[in-house]
Amino acid sequence: MPVMVASENGRRGMMAAMMLLREGGSALDAVELACRIVEDDPDDHSVGYGGLPNVLGEVELDASIMDGGATLRAGAVAAVQGYGCAITLARKVMEETPHVLVVARGAERLAAELGESPQDQRTEEALRRWRERFAERGLTPGATENLRSVARILTRPLNLQDKIYKAARVDTLGTVNFIALDAQGNLAAAVSTSGLGWKYPGRVGDSPLIGAGNYCDNRYGAAACTGMGELAIRAATARSLVLYLKCGMPLVEAGREALRDLLTLDAAEGQYMNIVTLTPTGEHAGFSTVPGKQYLFQRAEMDEPQLADRLMLE
């Protein structure tokens, strides 16, 4: 019965989590473990330690976790600096506070109260890439007074020819997400990100927003997003897809309806949205607004995760 789906960068996390699920572990533990593995990986520049910094050179992390059980419990943190375990903090918000979303200084205080050790989340490589983007634009890091303009310039794709190519080449977006179905039939979903590289300080994307980047309900299914978070926030993408399932649409139709919602937003060039989804019966699919995108899935009997193509609108 156990099944997992994830964004393309979730391979190592998925393999570890699937071992846990095979031993009877819960979907909630599986998605947290899987996210932690990606958060701790300095080579993933879109999540946790080593994530691409904001325009000021600070790494700010967002994450959410949702339990598809009867009470639809959820927890999230946003704009967290100095701690890398964003998904675990999100789970602590869910399990140890009466809240759903705790941000910035509050989330950092919570981390300290929980005994987590603060750690600079910036790696040399991420800082090198951060400085390079300023240099490419003839700007000096830290030498600007108008951060809004600088953030806008720095998050635009560079030297790209056509719209599809632009979408595929954007390097400032990234996130990891996992959805798991455990042997008891419970679904859980987790999303973690350092958000949009060179973002305006305090910018929060879809990943920590329940209903936008993450939604999970044992009765109908779960959905999680990667890509330009502003799109999923405006279309409430994750919740919409699950709602379409609740209304009786088949999985592929529900995903395509969520894509249709995104189309109406008239996204700027280079902005795209990806969705993964998993139902209580283990049916899974991935969707994207742009071609060439894939997602990972693994069933308990599979030795390793496999890639599958994300569907687009026909």
Q: Which residues are catalytic?
A: 175
Is-contact 225 216, C-beta < 8 A?
A: no
The CA distance from 60 to 81, in Å, is 5
CA 215 to chain CA centroid, Å, is: 12
User: C-beta of 44: minimal distance to ligand GLY in Å?
Assistant: 13
The CA distance from 78 to 207, in Å, is 9
**Which of 64, 218 has the CB closer to ligand GLY?**
64
User: C-beta of 122: minimal distance to ligand GLY in Å?
Assistant: 18
Q: Which two tokens stand for residue 217?
A: 């309900």
User: C-beta of 140: minimal distance to ligand GLY in Å?
Assistant: 26
* CA distances for 110 relative to 48, 68, 104, 196, 296, angstroms: 17, 24, 10, 24, 33
Spatial neighbors of 189 by CB under 8 A, at least 6 apart, are 31, 65, 66, 68, 177, 178, 179, 180, 214, 215, 216, 222, 223, 224
Applying CB under 6 A, the residues found at the interface with ligand GLY are: 175, 193, 195-196, 205-207, 213, 226-229
Total Cβ atoms within 10 A of residue 73: 17
**Which of 2, 10 has the CB closer to ligand GLY?**
10
User: C-beta of 115: minimal distance to ligand GLY in Å?
Assistant: 28
The conformational region for residue 72 under phi > 0 = left, psi -120 to 50 = alpha, else beta, is left
The CA distance from 169 to 154, in Å, is 14
**Which of 186, 193 has the CB closer to ligand GLY?**
193
User: C-beta of 234: minimal distance to ligand GLY in Å?
Assistant: 12
User: C-beta of 130: minimal distance to ligand GLY in Å?
Assistant: 16
Spatial neighbors of 254 by CB under 8 A, at least 6 apart, are 241, 242, 244, 245, 277
Q: Where are the alpha helices (DSSP H) in the chain?
A: 11-22, 27-39, 86-96, 104-113, 124-136, 147-154, 163-169, 229-235, 237-246, 251-263
**Which of 56, 183 has the CB closer to ligand GLY?**
56
**Which of 91, 203 has the CB closer to ligand GLY?**
203
User: C-beta of 304: minimal distance to ligand GLY in Å?
Assistant: 26
* CA distances for 151 relative to 26, 171, 202, 259, angstroms: 40, 14, 12, 27
**Which of 207, 289 has the CB closer to ligand GLY?**
207
Nearest to 188 by CA among 48, 44, 295, 90: 90
**Which of 213, 221 has the CB closer to ligand GLY?**
213
